[in-house]
Amino acid sequence: MIGRLNHIAIAVPDLEAAAAQYRDTLGADVGPPQDEPDHGVTVIFITLPNTKVELLYPLGDNSPIRGFLDKNPSGGIHHMCYEVDDILAARDKLQATGARVLGDGSPKIGAHGKPVLFLHPKDFNGCLIELEEV
């Protein structure tokens, strides 16, 4: 059901410093900041030859990333995103096996302009999983 790894998301306490580290120290292709108000985050994508890294920073006081950074002030891996061909079919199959989809179960449009869903980390070895339709 899942396809390739689309990205690994890292919550960071300083978006500009993290972007500079990837760009200047590691020599990576770092994109511009992008506000995602529906998700409460500002993101920067780092393009690698085989996947992407997504830097996450809180957008607003109610951002879910703010709570994550309160618990992890230095930042850390927030989630992994896998591609799926049909997000509704994937959701239905996962729910049929007992996996919990966060929110109301309806896909939202993600940072790449494609439908996404998040799966409860307690159902996946403590890892928040994002599914993105390709």
- DSSP letters, 26-95, are S--EE---EEETTTTEEEEEEE-SS-EEEEEEE-STT-HHHHHHHH-TT-EEEEEEEEES-HHHHHHHHH
83 is an active site residue: no
Question: Which pLDDT value is given to residue 129?
Answer: 98
Can you list the residues of the chain whose pLDDT is less than 50?
none
The total domain count for the chain is: 1
The partner residues of 34 in beta bridges, in order of sequence, read 43
- Enter the pTM of the model: 0.94
Question: Which pLDDT value is given to residue 56?
Answer: 98
Cα angle: 43, vertex 44, 49; to 5 degrees: 135
Residue 62 phi, psi (nearest 5): -95, 15
How far from the centroid of its chain's Cα atoms is residue 128's Cα? Answer: 9
Query: Which structural domain range is residue 22 located in?
Result: 5-133
16, 36, 54, 130: the active-site residue: 130
Q: Are 18 and 42 in contact (CB under 8 A)?
A: no
Structure tokens at 53: 């890294």
Q: Are 2 and 84 in contact (CB under 8 A)?
A: yes
pLDDT in tens, 20-54: 999 999 999 999 999 999 999 999 999 999 999 99
Rg (the chain; Cα; Å) = 15
Structure tokens at 52: 């992407």
Other beta carbons within 10 angstroms of residue 75's beta carbon come to 18
Question: Which pLDDT value is given to residue 9?
Answer: 98
CATH number at residue 51: 3.10.180.10
Question: Which pLDDT value is given to residue 55?
Answer: 98
